[in-house]
Structure 1
């Protein structure tokens, strides 16, 4: 069963996500980052190339031919087949359709009131379905 971690009260969701990806990659974790907005993913794609000179974060869009051998996948398609199912980072206000295929999912919840409400609702839904949940508040 998927382990679900909520990271809430995130002041800057974009930068927090970049740091989270870097940390997960340093732990040799293969991940899929999901956001429904292609423009947001393109900004994330560019940021990951320039995050820090010392860091190399190999990433591609799911549609890229190299996605099968790349540890960090960016996608806007929640129903697409992924090359790996270790970690899903959900950046949306909705429950991803394929989250149960992943070993672990991290829900990143900003300090925005609408995002908080959507996050609380997803937390309740996962809880009702019996998923193992953890919660940490960003500092």
Structure 2
């Protein structure tokens, strides 16, 4: 089944997602980000400005097909199918329905903030993925911080 990594206790979703996507891009991989319309614009703008000395190539799902085919990061709403072979990043408060049937070997990342409503939603998404038999991995950013 798919590997679903939950990144818990993210202090700020947009900044963390920018760093995560930079890491994916630098590793030579591609990412498909499921995001709602309100957050899509904010993430798009953040990817242009989060690091002064670099540009993270990306496109929104509104771009022409030839641009989407070459973009290592695509920002889309859940109506756009996530291509297999890319890392799927979910910023929605729910699991896109098609993702529950993710093929074996697919990598999915769930970004979860410290907000209690977001954490409760993540617990529900965890149960959904587990119910489908996906391999679940927990990355707790709070536990990784030195005290």
Q: TM-score higher than 0.5 here?
A: yes
- The aligned length equals 137
Q: Hey, what does 1:28 align to over in structure 2?
A: 28
Q: Following the alignment from structure 2 to structure 1, what is the Cα–Cα distance between the partners of residues 80 and 34?
A: 11
The Cα shift of 1:18 comes to 0.9
Q: Hey, what does 1:51 align to over in structure 2?
A: 50
The Cα shift of 1:83 comes to 5.3
Q: Where does 1:1-139 land on structure 2 (aligned, <5 Å)?
A: 1-36=1-36, 38-65=37-64, 66-76=67-77, 78-82=78-82, 85-99=85-99, 100=102, 103-139=106-142
**SS of the residue 2:93 aligns to:** coil
Q: Following the alignment from structure 1 to structure 2, what is the Cα–Cα distance between the partners of residues 31 and 24?
A: 7
Map Cα deviations across residues 56-105 of structure 1 (whole Å, 9 max, x no partner). Answer: 211011120111111100011x1323455411110111011222158111
Structure 1 stretches of 4+ with a deviation exceeding 6 A read none
RMSD: 1.7
**SS of the residue 2:97 aligns to:** coil
- Whether the 8 Å contact between 1:30 and 1:84 is mirrored in structure 2 is no
Q: Following the alignment from structure 2 to structure 1, what is the Cα–Cα distance between the partners of residues 72 and 84?
A: 8
Gaps of 5+ in 2: 143-147
TM-score (norm 1): 0.90
TM-score (norm 2): 0.85
Q: Following the alignment from structure 1 to structure 2, what is the Cα–Cα distance between the partners of residues 52 and 95?
A: 30
Q: Following the alignment from structure 2 to structure 1, what is the Cα–Cα distance between the partners of residues 81 and 42?
A: 23
Distance 1:95 1:82, change over 3 A: closer
